[in-house]
Amino acid sequence: MIDFSNKILFVGYGAVAECTLPILFKHIKVAPKNVTVIDFEAKEEKLRQWTAKGVRYVRDKVTEENMHSMLGKYLSAGDVLIDLAWNIDACEILQWCHDHGVLYINTSVEVWDPYAGGKKHPTERTLYWRHMNVRKMYGKWKEKGATAVIEHGANPGLISHFTKQGLLDIAGAALAEKRVKGRKAETLKDLVTAQKFNNLAHELGVKVIHCSERDTQITDVPKEIDEFVNTWSIEGFREEGTTTSELGWGTHEKTLPAYAYQHKNGPKNQICIARMGMNTWVRSWVPNYTIQGMVVRHGEAFTISDKLTVWDGKKAVYRPTVHYAYCPCDEAIVSLNELRGYNYKLQPKLRIMNDEITKGADILGALIMGHTFNSWWVGSDLSIEESRRLVPHQNATTMQVAISVVAATMWMIENPSEGIKVPDELPHTYVLGVSKPYLGKFISTRSDWTPLRDYENAFSGFNKPDFDVKDPWQFKNFLVKDGD
Ligand SMILES: NC(=O)c1ccc[n+]([C@@H]2O[C@H](COP(=O)([O-])OP(=O)(O)OC[C@H]3O[C@@H](n4cnc5c(N)ncnc54)[C@H](O)[C@@H]3O)[C@@H](O)[C@H]2O)c1
């Protein structure tokens, strides 16, 4: 428990914020009267138990026009802003917080109108583009200023810490089992001690990292026709699912996928595909089975591949391929299928499941591939029962996000003058230390899985699967394509 005597403002009180608020009060000793929640939808009922204790609720919308005056009304230097809304321009709100000495956290980097400019080049619609704009902005600042942690939810967020833990566990097992010997073993030990994660990933031979997620939460209140059902923000999911697929592009990759575009500026660690993330499917794995997941663009693909790059001057000599492989809950899969039929026009009814979930879990982790063990998965397998035990009426998906927001907020309060930070720049031991009690089963396990291990060709001799059987870690082996 840490003390905090300043103010905290939540913008957005949806699925994630609802789960975050009770956990925040468990870990941060702050007077309820110092906490304000802004949401433009009616949240009186959902907030009743908190407003009764003194939390203030304001029904309003933060817009491009009123953002400065509204934030100024509730925040001053040393206060904390927790942004769990959607479509608030990250550069503008970060600049405001920097100018006013306010600590800031969000779980995704967003813009005012993500659907504007449908004719823009695919590279300009990417998260990479947004990150470059954030970099340009803070490049002009004279000092780092108040801490602002961006993209610190579950993924992006915890997944960066799982990745670091995984690299250390792979190295530990490789050393313990004497899979590396002599000089190589000494090098590995030194990299572990120094926690040089880019060199460590390189030395271990890591080629690909998936954020692999299977949400098995099911319900006895099935999706209705014209309804989108999910376990977290439907607006957020639609926005990221219907735009370009994006991935960190490894130095071992031999051929770009169809419709791939590369960036002209910055570290150029990513590519994007002129194809919706929700329609870009890959083979992946969670303990202990193969899944098909979508390469929906996410911040971790950018930051993990950026931070794990090994540079020789201006040349990237090593980088793994990094991307999301998302298999959402069954209701969401059916909702997406309906959305495709409706030409991506959102259904009129939206529902985020909570109390109607009957069983299941959110299984979310870093699948680290290409090393001596083939694959290694590190992450959280959190059941609905366990998440309800931790915070009643919340689901496993929002729990994994909420605890990460609280952990990063605590770190921010303890480290208030660090400027802008991405999850990879926070200490993984601190964040995992706070988060683990909320993550259900914390798993770190090996597997002999490769994307080709379970593949069977149903039409052998009549189609032309485009695989690289010599190198299982090529992106083309993961990607589900015509002719496979
Ligand atoms: N990194 C992660 O792991 C992760 C996971 C889940 C969600 N997210 C992100 O977190 C955010 C919140 O997710 P959620 O599932 O709680 O979404 P949600 O749709 O359930 O809730 C968002 C809430 O914010 C309110 N809101 C939106 N814009 C607002 C504005 N301008 N002013 C005031 N209120 C506003 C909405 O009315 C809604 O109640 C989204 O941006 C989502 O993409 C990140």
Distance CA 379, CA 165 (A): 9
Ligand 1 pocket test: which of 81, 232, 382 has the largest number of ligand atoms within 8 Å of its C-beta?
232
Question: Of ligand 1's atoms, which has the minimum distance to the CA of residue 352?
Answer: 20
Reference 395, options 459, 446, 344, 351; nearest CA is 351
Cα-to-centroid distance, 379 and ligand 1 (Å): 23
CA–CA dist 198, 172 (Å, integer):
16
Q: Determine if ligand 1 sits within 6 Å of the CB of residue 169.
A: no
Query: Which residue in the block uniquely carries the two structure tokens 């999850």?
Result: 423
| Burial (Cβ within 10 Å: 0-12, 13-18, ≥19) of residue 341 | exposed
Provide mean pLDDT across the span 31-41.
97
Ligand 1 centroid distance, CA of 19 (Å): 12
For 414-426, write each residue's pLDDT tens digit.
999 999 999 999 9
Question: For position 116, what pLDDT does the model report?
Answer: 80
Average pLDDT over residues 462-477: 95
* pLDDT reading at 242 higher than 90: yes
Please tell me the distance from the alpha carbon of residue 254 to that of residue 252, in angstroms, as a whole number.
6
> CA geometry: angle at 404 spanning 443 and 103, to 5°?
155
Q: How far is the CA of 16 from the centre of ligand 1 (A)?
A: 7
Q: Which pLDDT score is estimated for 483?
A: 78
Ligand 1: atom nearest CA of 61 is 32
In 255-295, beta strands by DSSP E: 260-262, 270-276, 281-286, 289-294
pLDDT at 225: 98
Tell me, in angstroms, the distance from the centre of ligand 1 to residue 31's CA.
24
Determine the straight-line distance between the first and last CA of the chain, rounded to whole angstroms: 53
**Which own/partner pairs from 469-475 qualify as long-range (CB within 8 Å, at least 24 positions apart)?**
471/252, 471/254, 473/207, 473/208, 473/250, 473/252, 473/321, 473/369, 473/370, 474/252, 474/253, 474/254, 474/255, 475/208, 475/247, 475/250, 475/253, 475/257, 475/321
pLDDT above 90 (res 482): no
By the 8 A CB rule, do 210 and 367 touch?
yes
Identify the H or E element spanning 60: none
Residue 240: pLDDT over 70: yes
Going from the Cα of 460 to the center of ligand 1, the distance in angstroms, rounded, reads 46
C-beta of 328 in contact with ligand 1 (< 6 A): no
Phi first, then psi: give them for residue 134, nearest 5 degrees. -65, -45
pLDDT digits (tens, 9 = 90+) for 195-231: 999 999 999 999 999 999 999 999 999 999 999 999 9
CA distance 83 to 66: 16
Spell out a b/e string for 297-308, using b for 16 or more CB atoms within 10 Å of the CB, else e. Answer: bbbbbbbbbbbb
> What is the mean predicted confidence (pLDDT) over 335-357?
97
Establish whether residue 278 lines the binding site of ligand 1, counting it when its CB lies within 6 angstroms of any ligand atom: no
Domains of the chain: 2-149 (3.40.50.720), 158-394+440-478 (3.30.360.30)
Determine which residue's CA is closest to atom 12 belonging to ligand 1: 84
Q: What is the pLDDT of residue 113?
A: 86
At residue 332, does pLDDT exceed 80? yes
What average pLDDT does the chain have? 96
Q: Are 414 and 428 in contact (CB under 8 A)?
A: no
Give me the pLDDT at residue 390, please: 94
Write the residue with the smallest CA distance to atom 14 of ligand 1: 233
Ligand 1 in contact with 376 (CB < 6 A)? Answer: no
Residue 179 predicted with pLDDT over 70: yes
What is the average pLDDT across 298-326?
A: 98
- Tell me which amino acid residue 294 is: M
In whole angstroms, give the CA distance from residue 34 to residue 438: 25
pLDDT of 114 strictly over 90: no
The residues, ordered by sequence, that sit 6+ positions from 214 with a Cβ below 8 Å of its Cβ are: 286, 291, 293, 327, 363
Instruction: Give the mean model confidence (pLDDT) for residues 383-398.
Output: 95
Q: Where are the beta strands (DSSP E) in 158-237?
A: 208-215, 218-219, 227-230
92 lines ligand 1 (CB under 6 A): no
Q: Could you tell me if 466 and 478 are in contact, meaning their C-beta atoms sit under 8 angstroms apart?
A: no
Question: How many angstroms does the Cα of residue 88 sit away from the middle of ligand 1?
Answer: 10
What is the mean pLDDT of the segment spanning 256-266? 97
What was the pLDDT predicted at 117? 67
**Does residue 475 line the site of ligand 1, with CB under 6 A?**
no
Nearest CA to ligand 1 atom 1: 153
Atom 19 of ligand 1, nearest CA residue: 233
